[in-house]
Chain A
Amino acid sequence: MADGSLLHTDIDAWLARHQAKDLLRFITCGSVDDGKSTLIGRLLYDTGAVPDDEIARLQRDSARGSAGGELDFSLLVDGLAAEREQGITIDVAYRYFATEARKFIVADTPGHEQYTRNMITGASTAETAVILVDARKGVLTQTRRHSFLVSLVGIRRVVLAVNKMDLVGFAQDVFDGIVADYRAFAQGLGFAQITAIPISGRDGDNIALVSARTPWYAGPTLLGYLETTPIAADELATRPFRMAVQGVIRPDLSFRGFTGQISAGQLRVGDEVRVCPSGRTTRVARIVGWSGDLPQATAGQSVTVTLADEVDVSRGDVLAAAANPPESAERFAATLVWMDEQPMVIGRSYWLKIGARTVAAVVAGLDHRVDVNTLEHLPAARLELNEIGSVVLRLDQTTPFDPYDLNVETGGFILIDRVTNATIAAGMLRAAERRADNIHWHAQTVDKSARARLKGQRSAVLWLTGLSGAGKSTLANRIEQRLLAEGRHTYILDGDNVRHGLNKDLGFSEADRVENIRRVAEVARLMADAGLIVLVAFISPFRADRDLARGLMAPGEFIEVHVDAPLAVAEARDPKGLYRKARAGELKNFTGIDSPYEPPIQPEVYIDTTTTSPDAAADRIVRLIEQRGLPGVDGEGI
């Protein structure tokens, strides 16, 4: 708040000026002890962002701390009690300050190796990065890692802030040597601009004010750079129009508005837009504003639009410039940053969220992982916490996208664990896996609901899970007989018949078990797409695998039936003599004996076969099926 005079003399003018400022988001990264917290504290202090009572607290705390009575600016940003005790920064923190020219949001991220995920998180919303190097230590492994991560998330302009210049006597040759090292290393990272600045965070040299101690340096101060570097978000406005549809607003029958935040380009009333992935086109009828319609809107704005035609648009679709739409695909080459303690498993199903769209995704293959220190590509079988790899993803739905380098919003995604709901990876889509996928789907005239309607029913997948001997096959057969009598079209997929044919190449290793269920689920999906009511009777002991199957089906189509009997009862029934063999050690990995069964948490139907007869159970399930009616007559779809 250096423009103090206006603040005192003409507050209205000051406010008008302040209100017109734009916003730059940046990230600071550096190793432990590079002086990152001190630098941020200094930026806050020099720009007047620290209130007087905070400064009083700082003076009190500095007297107690390690800086020996001088103001210790790092105390301004060390947030949590847990951190102060351990003397470290454990997570991404965001700080706010402003100068006469701009407002700033800085993401403060820790430099420890185990916190790569925090750096990626902080960098994902940043437009420029300040990479700190200790002048006494030069370019370290961690400097390389941070620079690589910064380039990975698409930051193209960086500052190399050579800090603690006071401790090397402001020597130009030290600075020049570090800058030369860094430029040589950073060549492969695709930065458009590297601005190197010699600073002292502790003393404030070249932070807000030009230092008298670096007469050999003619470039900008750190704040000078931050005030003038272009805003990356503004550049998105020149790209083709994209908006992920967040939702539909329908206050009454006459109004149907689609909401979203424009991720790229401009939108004007009358523009032709394409709904992706369906491929239908229409025109923008209105852009609805709070106090009247807007003639146009631009990247970064949250808007509500109405369309000229009654096309099918729902959450997760992308509205795009009709002449320049995104590609749509189901298989992708992508970069993954793994962020979870549990390693990535090839073949397991995860939730993938991109834009407003959440779909099931399987990592179909791992091409290589990247050593973040050397940038080498290494062969790998899995990704551990903080590892980065190049993978092939298979999604359960055709999904519109742009390569991440062209559009962060339509190319960036997260993976979510289906059981813990944790965010376990961040990713960047690079390309569709097959060139043939670069086709905009023509809306099909014969679809699932048409096929199902012809059969007088609605597609369904009844997934019967439970211990061997719990009564799944008995129940499945009983249900099918009833449905047949009602004139329904059905098919049973049973563990035994599939293992003898489609899956006869699979054994009982964990990977094979995942693949076994995946194939069965895919077959069930095809049959449901054909309009059938499919009964699947599989032990399917693992929740994640059943969730995978659920994720493949349309909402409401998957009906999980837990066919339950206590182990002792199932073992006593032992219709195939399998428990006897397992107990005798002749069968390994047998569910209930030496392999766990994870019961469903919220199955659509629960059947206790010790108290419910097969007929009564079948009755319940057939009633449920019959109540679902026909597709398209009960509000299905939007």
Chain B
Amino acid sequence: MECVVSFAAPPRDPVSALSHPDPLSPSDATPQPARLTHLQRLEAEAIHIIRETVAECERPVMLYSIGKDSAAMLHVAMKAFHPAKPPFPLLHVDTTWKFKEMIRFRDAHARNLGLELLVHTNPDGLAAGVGPFTHGSAVHTDIMKTQALKQALDRYGFDAAFGGARRDEEASRAKERIFSFRNAAHAWEPKAQRPELWRLYNARKHRGESLRVFPLSNWTELDVWQYIAAENIPLPDLYFAAERPVVERDGTLIMVDDDRMPLAPGETPQMKSVRFRTLGCYPLTGAVESTAATIPAILQEMLTSRTSERQGRVIDRDQAASMEKKKREGYF
């Protein structure tokens, strides 16, 4: 099924068309062209953005985090260059604390698509044994994600990195450009952003400077889910409810994905039917109790419960406006 590029647009509502006469609409003699749905428009915009980056940058890379947004973004990239492959590799910054299933899925998915996959782990952090249980989420995120990402971008000399972030996720994202300029230290300066007009993106930069490019900027969480459903995009099973071993930490359900999870004396993980709204490092990613095993069921739960997806992310709660701060420091 190819819902997004088809022209299965609904007919215009004749009643509302009559009740709101429009001086700009073409005369009745002009045949009405097919209308694009919101998903078609969002996909077309994302394809345009990805192609523009490839045309204007020397060495782009796609940040692949294995989550649903990455999955949608990667699918758009496959379409953008079809029948060729996307002319850039995928990069995964592996903190070594991801869910095991994410890593399995990552390797299989990249292989199936025939794309080059680069995996980078911060060697200093690894040597120092940095992890969320021993160092806390803030230090872990800084060393194993922010610093690791900067290392990887510098090491390969990437001058543009695609990310799957959306503006509806968080306040500082809402103000970030689609082509987000970073200085040589990878820092974001919110007050010095380039005006972004029409579909004209300015990708010019000096050596050492780089861009973060967010093709899904204008998508919402619901858009991503609907696109995944319409395009049949594979996802890790973690998104779908299943019996999983969890423990409760500060009101959050954490899945015991391996034996690095410290348990209190006498504590045993409980088997519960849970799923994840976002995927990240397992000790920092809260599960939600659910029986939703299909995308429509997930959306039904999501739309009727109405909590934001970032609620499951422990790192955002550490401090107010923490995302803005992290981005200034070079976080994606």
Contact = CB atoms under 8 A, between A and B. Distances in A.
A290 B190 contact: no
B38 A103 contact: yes
A52 B306 contact: yes
Contacts of A251: 83-85
A95 B306 contact: no
Contact of B304 (A8, A249, A354): A8
Given A15-B226, A91-B190, A288-B82, A353 B200 contact: yes
A339 B202 CA distance: 14
A302 B38 contact: no
B23 A409 contact: no
A289 B79 CA distance: 8
B83 A249 contact: yes
A250 interface: yes
Contacts of B39: 19
Nearest to B35: A234
Interface string A179-200: 0000000000000110000000
Contact of B79 (A84, A232, A290, A299): A290
Given A234-B33, A291-B2, A421-B202, A94 B174 contact: yes
B36 A51 contact: no
A581 to B, nearest CB: 37
Contacts of B55: 246-247, 315, 356
B190 to A, nearest CB: 6
Contacts of A78: 171
Interface in A248-269: 249-251, 255, 257, 259-261, 266
A54 interface: yes
Contacts of A235: 24-26
Given A7-B300, A233-B36, A409-B199, A52 B305 contact: yes
B63 to A, nearest CB: 21
B191 interface: yes
Contacts, number: 233
B168 interface: yes
A413 B308 contact: no
Contact of A23 (B41, B85, B199): B41
A90 interface: yes
Interface in B111-170: 167-168
Nearest to B204: A421
A298 B197 CA distance: 22
Interface in B286-323: 296-297, 299-300, 303-308, 311, 320-321
B307 A290 contact: no
Nearest to B38: A23
Nearest to A81: B321
B321 A80 contact: yes
A151 interface: no
A297 B48 CA distance: 15
B35 A22 contact: yes
B252 interface: no
B200 A413 contact: yes
B295 to A, nearest CB: 9
A365 to B, nearest CB: 23
Interface in A62-101: 77-82, 84, 90-96, 98
Contact of A22 (B19, B36, B197, B320): B36
- Central interface residue in B25, B47, B202, by most chain A CB within 10 Å: B202
Interface stretch (B3-11, B95-103, B255-263): B3-11
Interface stretch (A114-122, A136-144, A567-575): A114-122
B187 interface: no
A356 B204 contact: no
A290 B48 contact: no
A422 B16 CA distance: 45
Contact of A228 (B16, B36, B43): B16
Contacts of A257: 83
A91 B48 contact: no
- Central interface residue in A19, A261, A409, by most chain B CB within 10 Å: A19
Nearest to A79: B171
Given A7-B304, A51-B307, A246-B52, A298 B195 contact: no
Contacts of B52: 246, 356
A80 B54 contact: no
Contact of A53 (B23, B167, B297, B311): B311
B195 A339 contact: yes
B202 A261 contact: no
B198 A408 contact: yes
Given A228-B20, A259-B80, A304-B82, A423 B230 contact: no
A82 B193 CA distance: 14
Given A94-B174, A356-B52, A421 B206 contact: yes
B303 A7 contact: yes
Nearest to B225: A15
A1 interface: yes
Contact of A421 (B2, B43, B51, B205): B205
Contacts of B171: 78-80
Interface of B: 2-3, 5, 7-10, 16, 19-20, 22-26, 30, 33-45, 47-48, 51-52, 54-55, 78-85, 167-168, 171-172, 174-175, 190-191, 193-200, 202, 204-207, 217-218, 220, 222-223, 226, 229-230, 296-297, 299-300, 303-308, 311, 320-321, 324-325
13 contacts: A4-B304, A19-B226, A22-B38, A91-B191, A93-B174, A124-B198, A235-B25, A246-B48, A246-B51, A261-B44, A301-B40, A302-B44, A302-B48
Given A81-B325, A246-B55, 9 more contacts: A53-B307, A124-B198, A156-B24, A255-B83, A290-B82, A301-B5, A353-B202, A354-B200, A421-B206
5 A-B pairs closest in CB distance: A237-B33, A302-B47, A23-B38, A79-B171, A251-B84
